[in-house]
Amino acid sequence: MRERPSARLLVLDPHDRLLLFKFVHLAGALTGTQFWATPGGGVHPGESYEAAACREMFEETGICIDDPGPQIAQRLVTFTMVDGEEVSSDERYFLVRVARADLSSMHWTELERAAIAGQHWWRQAELAETADTVYPEDIIDILTRARVW
């Protein structure tokens, strides 16, 4: 199984709302699945988790950052990619605070354009009440332990 290190972003606006993207898979191995997840993605060979977090932040939100902030969580998980490949991922979660909530999808890949159906800034109570699937599953606990919520 291929190892896929990943930098994930816990992006908070000035009102402590958390940015999540809604993924809806209409084709490929994940057809019919939908869930909410943090921005972020795979670390390129030779790239640090921090550098990947900055790159992913720009690519997925249009916001340029020089520092991803502190790493506040790590998760080891196995999952299926859109093409059906099973990967083992070492996910590192960085806390990023932004001054504005407006985003750009200008730098999204074709895969992101095909799978990301929406975005939402979630309040803690709203996230706690949703019946939707959210990854990581313990995202509220992560932010509570970090004393964000």
The secondary structure of 6-44 as a DSSP string is: EEEEEEE-TT-PEEEEEEE--SSTTTT-EEEE-SEEEPP
The structural domain count of the chain equals 1
| pLDDT at 18 > cutoff 90 | yes
Helix (H, G, I), strand (E, B) or coil at 88: strand
Q: What is the pLDDT of residues 64-93, one digit of tens each?
A: 999 999 999 999 999 998 888 999 999 999
pTM of the model: 0.92
Q: Which domain holds residue 92?
A: 2-145
Neighbours of 52 (CB within 10 A): 23
Averaged pLDDT of the chain: 93
| pLDDT at 113 > cutoff 80 | no
| pLDDT at 111 > cutoff 80 | no
Helix (H, G, I), strand (E, B) or coil at 134: strand
Q: What is the pLDDT of residues 121-134, one digit of tens each?
A: 999 999 999 999 99
User: What CATH number does the domain containing 91 carry?
Assistant: 3.90.79.10
